[in-house]
Structures are given as structure tokens and as C-alpha cells.
Amino acid sequence: MSRYKVGVVGLEHDHVWDVVPGFLADERSEIVAVADANPPLLDQAKEKWGVEQVFGCWIEMLEKTALDAVIVYGDNSIGADVVEAAAAKGLHVMVEKPMAATLRQADRMLIAAEKAEIILMINWPTAWNPNFATAVDLATSGEIGDVFKVRYRAAHEGPQELGCSPYFCEWLLNKERNGGGALIDYCCYGAAYAAQLLGRPNAATAIAGRLVKDYIAVEDNAVILAKYDKGLAICEASWTTHGFGYELMINGSRGTVRSDGRSVQIARNSGEVPQTVEVKPLPDYRRNAAAHFLTCIEEKRAPEGMCNPVVSRHAQEILEAGIIAAETGSTVPFPVVSRR
């Protein structure tokens, strides 16, 4: 069986060290080249992954290496450039969440992928968590009736406090490279769940600010409220929270399902003690990012759920509206006019 040759664009996103092992362990793929501007990171990749072809520039890697696909783990602002260049060569692309730093960049990616008819997947790490996935499956199967409210809270003490690498922190705290601060980094999950379960909203508003960390130049807390015809979504983000970091709650006309990523509960009415739901392992093609991306390439089909590029583009639109709303103190109607 021939193996898909995969190149890695960027090592500055710490998630890359958790995702690449999935490609190395999958018999359908091999990591053949890596590109990053930081020699210490290239040395780390060579040592950990046994890759021999390393480049200081991703453009050079695309020009000199025979590839079938690339995965993008630089800052949020480079994805559009990489997708356009890779699509022009017929290469499939997986980009780490969120889709981009701006809505305009996300649209560029979607247009390039559709024109070239390549697989474009946005990797959302929570998609491979069996507990969160079970909660979503219960909601989409009609188990709780018609979904009218989605809330996702993502929080921790902050990138530096959490132990993120200096390379990761450098761009996470840079508004141009990240697209914002905590809002785009962590409201993005709520936006993705909202886009998957409720679609595109009619309008959104937001509050964001630097409440605790006076040593950063971006917001450390944010909330986006998205309004639908018959529903709403709340996307919460914090870089200043101690404990109780993650929660997905989905309200339907006949019940509520919630998960903190470690278990799943469902409730049918307010007087009932919530029942813990049995969580089964995800099917092989959904076991991790690599498995799903390679399956989509192999079967020539679009990624599922929040990892679908159209869903992720709608999530980006919610984020864009949130950023504009927080800066202007307004409610932003959809469709959202891109900032740039």
C-alpha cells in the first residue's frame, strides 16, 4: 500500500507535538519533511520523528519535496497563504484550530480548497474527545429534542502559566499573528460547536478585556453571545481561571446534555437527577486528527462536524463578529463584513 507523504508547516504551535504521532503511527502516512524558521524546533522534530528533510522556509519545502498533504502548525495568520500555495499544487491540507486569524483569511482558504478540489480539514482537538463527541452525538440524534442553546466554556490560568512553550506564547500574545487574545484562542471552541449545532447566527455581541494580566497586550477574558431565530450560543474564554476549565452544555426542547470532557450527563427535567451516559470509544476513523484527515483523503469525502471547513468558516465569522462587537460595543449583524 502506498503511503501519503505528509509535510509539516510550522512547529510554533505546541499542539503539533501531540498530533504528529498520530500520523507516524498510521500505516497510511509518513512524515517526510518539516519546515520552521527556528533551528531548535527543527532539531527537536528530527530527534522525535526521525524526519530527515528540514527547511527554514515552508515555501522552499513545497517547491523541493514531493508531498501529498501538509499539516499547518504555525501561527493563525499563515494558514491562508499555505492553503493557497498547497492547493495550487493539488496538496490536501489540515490546519489547526481556529481556521485563521481573520474571516477574510478563512474565506481565502475555503475558496482555494474548493477551486482545487482538495481536502481541507480544520483540526479541533475536542472533536476526538469521546465525552464531548458523545454529547454532540446525543444532541444531533434528537435525543434531547430540538437544540436551542449551546454553551461552551474554555478556561485555564494562561498560556505561560499553563506551560506553553516560548515559541507558542510569542504569537498567542500577538494580536496580528493570533487574531486576538483569549477571545480567538478559546471562544473559538464555542463558536465551532455553535456553528455545528445551530448554523450561522443572525447577529452577535461580545465583551472582552484584559482583566488580570497586566503584562499582556491582548484580552485575557471574553464572552461572545450569538443570536439565532430560535436559539442562542454562549462562547466563553478565560486565560485567568484556576480550575473548572471546560464545559459543554447543550439545551434541547426535551432535555439537556453536558460534558466536562471527562464524563457526560443527560437530564430530562429539572426535578430529575442527571444520568451519567455510557461513553464508548470513537470509531477508528474518528480516533484522532490523523485518522480522520487520512480517511477523508482516502475516501475523497469532506471532514465531519466541526472539522468541516464550511462549519469552521462559520465559526470564524462568529469570532470576527465577536472581535468587532467587543471593540465597538455594538451588536454585529450577519453576514459579517471582514475587518481586513
**226-252 per-position pLDDT tens digit:** 999 999 999 999 999 999 999 999 999
pLDDT per residue over 80-137, tens digit each?
999 999 999 999 999 999 999 999 999 999 999 999 999 999 999 999 999 999 999 9
CB 87 within 8 A of CB 116: yes
Q: How far apart are CA 310 and CA 77, in angstroms?
A: 18
Query: Dihedral (C-alpha) 184, 187, 191, 194: value to the nearest 10 degrees?
Result: 180
CA distance 243 to 95: 29
Helix (H) or strand (E) holding 166: helix 166-172
CA distances from 192 to 10, 59, 147, 267 (A): 23, 30, 15, 24
* Residue of 319, 315, 335 lying closest to 122 (CA atoms): 315
Q: Which single residue is written with the C-alpha cell 519535496?
A: 65
Per-residue pLDDT tens, the chain, 340 aa: give them. 679 999 999 999 999 999 999 999 999 999 999 999 999 999 999 999 999 999 999 999 999 999 999 999 999 999 999 999 999 999 999 999 999 999 999 999 999 999 999 999 999 999 999 999 999 999 999 999 999 999 999 999 999 999 999 999 999 999 999 999 999 999 999 999 999 999 999 999 999 999 999 999 999 999 999 999 999 999 999 999 999 999 999 999 999 999 999 999 999 987 788 999 999 999 999 999 999 999 999 999 999 999 999 999 999 999 999 999 999 999 999 999 887 6
Cα–Cα dist 116/78, whole Å: 19
Name the amino acid, one letter, at 139.
A
Residue for cell digits 487574545?
A: 181
How far is Cα 310 from Cα 64, in angstroms, rounded to an integer?
31
**Predicted TM-score (pTM) above 0.95:** yes
**Backbone φ/ψ region at 247: left (φ over 0), alpha (ψ -120 to 50), beta:** beta
DSSP 236: E
Q: For the chain, which domains are there?
A: 4-125+286-306 (3.40.50.720), 127-282+315-333 (3.30.360.10)
Q: How many CB atoms lie within 10 A of CB 234?
A: 17
Bridge partners of 206, per DSSP, are 224
Binning the chain into helix, strand and coil, the percentages to the nearest 5 are 40, 25, 35
